[in-house]
A and B are shown apart, each in its own frame.
Chain A
Amino acid sequence: MHHSHPKVAAPPPPDASGGAVDISDGKRGKKRGNYNCGRCGQPKKGHVCNVKTPISAAVTAVATAISTDSSHYAVSASSSASALRKAAPSRLRRALSFDDFDDGGAAISSGGIDASEIEDRTVGDSFADADDDLDLKMDLDLDLDSCGLPASLRWEVLRRLPPVGLLAAAQVSKGWRETAKRLWKAAEELRLRVPANVHVGFVASMLQKCPGIVRLSLRMESDFDSTMLACIAFSCSNLEYMEVSMSDGATNRINGGELGRFVADKRSLKCLKMEGCSNLGGFVLCSASLSTLWLSDLHSLSKMVFNCPQLREISLEFSRQENDSTDLTTMIEGLGRNCSRLQNIHIAALRLSHAAVLALTAAQLRGLRMLSLVLGSEITDASVAAIASSYPNLELLDLSGSGISDSGIGIICNVFPETLSRLLLALCPNVTSSGIQFATAQLPLLELMDCGMTICDPDSLNPTTDEDNCKPQETSSTNMQLTNQKLIIKHSHLKKLSLWGCSGLDALYLNCPQLNDLNLNSCRNLHPERLLLQCPTLENVHASGCKDMLIGAIQSQVCNAFTAMENQSPSKRLPDGSKRVRVPYLLEDECPEPDKKRRKIERRLCNVLVN
């Protein structure tokens, strides 16, 4: 630092801790830059990275959450989102959000572009995160521009601008252009929204400014084609993480050959996530570095070969069309053969069958911890038995949309009680409340349980049902087993419970001291007087599509006895149309008089979300 110091003291050397301006700030991680060194993952404060080490599985460390927009759980489809500690492509909706508990819910760099960020920008709405060494900063400090603003400050301000702002800033003066150029060069992560009708040259020129890019996220509103992919391949030689998400109306035209070439050429690519992959047709992916792969909207692939020995996490979502001709069994066999290090598997496909499961269990993937095979109605209890015998250490099991029954749950409870913390069985028509209750009783480590749309009568289901369309329950044609169901759940670890769409649920008793999130969307027949919630840490209760009396009952249950206390936050309608009713809720049961001090210290708000 080059400031003149008080005369009495000798000016400290430039790299003294007192003098150097450090740019890292571990505190504010929210979407404002990567404060960890991109190369070794250590915090950048006072750190000069000489090490060229691969970024450790930073993907898994990133807490992500699937949006909890509960108004979109179409019965037939999108419930294939699973809790693999990842963010599904933004169009997938699930009524239950799957935060990574380990991270304490802190969502840094949420996967995918946050649409609310991209308001009025015409192009390039994102921000380049400039990471650099202290050395680079030293040069800047010696350079004051015409207004007396030291270049280090210029750098600090500019680096907080989105790419558009940075481009504009270059026009201010030559000094600014210099700083901007350095920022581009130092940028390691770029998140870009590519609007419709923008020439690929725009993306190309932007990418060329920042050759050091290691992480690239594109939100495409125009088509994504091989020219764009070639631009990326050409400009970003150090690319390690690439994510392409597609808006409605934009098409991903990449075919399998182009994708295969890209993956093979990018020797440092560790993580690839791509949406809209309907034109792939068939591919062979060979990569010695790839460890995470997410592809969605797949359809009718003639061949899927993964020669990726380092692959740890794979997510394959097939489109919902019925006439998918992909041979899943062969594909899974190949996965088992070539990717023996897999830890997390997520496959969402209507044609998942018992044979496919057998291929998986034959594969001996010793590291498998999270398994999600959803939408396969042909998956049966026998499949569960096979999974349980081959992979007894699973931490997450998601068999939503399958045909498993309470016996399958019995098998699960037999084999997995010591490891299983997340169990998802949404849309399993053969699961009943006794199965669910059994599971909660037998799985002590359970933290997340999703039983959406299980206790309900499939006959009364209208696939296009949504919150605005509350059909009265027709009891005449219902199976007795699926109505008037009662659930009593007492669990000491359960944090999230989803019973969305359980229209057969009549009574609910919950005693879960750690429960944070409860989803009762569309529990149309839950009787307000047969609801007992003894969950002091409850933060959110989702109750859209429920009868008003039930909502009232929920609110009174989560609000403590201090009703005399003024309700400072009346309900208000938020800009997105949802309504939040905030009810103050006190933690201790034996709370003394609500004097002001006490009130300020312990106050937990439980939101009842009625959408």
Chain B
Amino acid sequence: MSGISDTERMITLKTVEGTLFDVKSSIAKDLKTVQAFIDDSDDDVTSPIPLPNVFTRELSRILDYLNNHHRFRSGIEKADEEMARYDAEFAKSMSHEELKALILAANYLNVKDLLEFLNQTVADVIQNKSVEFVRNFFGIENDYTPEEEEKLRNENEWAFNGVEQD
């Protein structure tokens, strides 16, 4: 066990493209997958941890989010409003493609708070949208036959009032 306190240690993460990110270990704690890896190797992590599923763009966003949230939480009172504003901006700044990629990255890295937020954001986005929209958003193939689709649509006729056009 090294004598250095946790908050001072830096962990290095390596993305798919080979970019290196230095992360404070207090932040790395929120990346549960990474933390588990650190725990497993007995705290002795000197070389960069490779993250074969995570791209630079996503990791940088995730770290941004975490850094900001840490700042909000440890700081002054009344940061809730700022935090909410930041979250809203954060969600808006991404295209749907980026949002989806970010969710997958956050899921892999197991970043609880961010995942919660992203899941909610996505749910809000797809609520009240048409089925086609949802398929496009996620890139899902329609595996229903036309008859099945028709049948389902009829059953749920009443649910489709008030659906926004894409």
Residues of A that sit less than 8 Å from B by CB:
1, 3-10, 12, 16-19, 21-22, 25, 28, 120-124, 145-150, 152-153, 156-158, 160-162, 164-165, 167-176, 198, 202, 600-601, 603
Residues of B within 8 A of A157 (CB): 119, 122-123, 126
Tell me the minimal C-beta distance from B17 to chain A in angstroms: 16
A173 contacts which of B119, B143, B160 (Cβ < 8 Å)? B143
Cβ-defined contact, B36 with A19, below 8 A: yes
* Also in contact, A160 and B140, with CB within 8 A (given A124-B159, A168-B131, A172-B131): no
Q: A21-B107, A170-B156, A173-B144 are in contact. List 18 more A-B contacts (CB 8 A).
A: A3-B107, A12-B36, A17-B36, A19-B110, A122-B158, A123-B159, A124-B159, A153-B103, A161-B126, A165-B123, A168-B156, A171-B144, A171-B153, A172-B138, A173-B142, A198-B158, A600-B76, A600-B77
**What are 16 A-to-B residue pairs whose CB atoms are below 8 Å?**
A4-B53, A8-B41, A19-B33, A122-B161, A122-B162, A147-B139, A147-B140, A147-B141, A149-B138, A153-B103, A153-B119, A160-B119, A165-B123, A168-B159, A171-B153, A175-B143
Please, how many angstroms separate the alpha-carbon atoms of A149 and B104 in the complex?
Answer: 7
Please, how many angstroms separate the alpha-carbon atoms of A152 and B143 in the complex?
Answer: 20
* Complex: chain B residue closest to A20, CB-CB: B110
Asked if B28 is at the interface of the complex by the 8 Å CB criterion, the answer is no
Asked if B40 is at the interface of the complex by the 8 Å CB criterion, the answer is yes
Provide the main secondary structure of the chain B interface. helix
Compute the total of residue contacts between A and B using a CB distance below 8 Å.
Answer: 145
Tell me the minimal C-beta distance from B107 to chain A in angstroms: 6
* Also in contact, A4 and B52, with CB within 8 A (given A18-B36, A21-B110, A148-B104): yes
Asked if B49 is at the interface of the complex by the 8 Å CB criterion, the answer is yes
Residues of B within 8 A of A149 (CB): 100, 103-104, 138, 140
Residues of A within 8 A of B140 (CB): 145-147, 149, 172-173, 175-176
Asked if B23 is at the interface of the complex by the 8 Å CB criterion, the answer is no
A171 contacts which of B32, B76, B128, B131 (Cβ < 8 Å)? B131
Chain B stretch 67-87: residues in CB contact (< 8 A) with chain A = 76-78
Cβ-defined contact, B134 with A146, below 8 A: no
Please, how many angstroms separate the alpha-carbon atoms of A261 and B9 in the complex?
Answer: 67
Please, how many angstroms separate the alpha-carbon atoms of A165 and B131 in the complex?
Answer: 10
Tell me the minimal C-beta distance from A295 to chain B in angstroms: 31
Cβ-defined contact, A156 with B134, below 8 A: no
Tell me the minimal C-beta distance from A12 to chain B in angstroms: 6
A19, A123, A173 interface centre (most CB from chain B within 10 Å): A173
Cβ-defined contact, A18 with B126, below 8 A: no
Interface string of B22-49 (1 = CB under 8 A from A): 0000000000110111011100000001
A160 contacts which of B123, B135, B153 (Cβ < 8 Å)? B123
Residues of A within 8 A of B78 (CB): 600, 603
Interface string of B129-165 (1 = CB under 8 A from A): 0110011001111111000010011001011111100
Residues of A within 8 A of B159 (CB): 122-124, 164, 167-168
Please, how many angstroms separate the alpha-carbon atoms of A122 and B163 in the complex?
Answer: 10
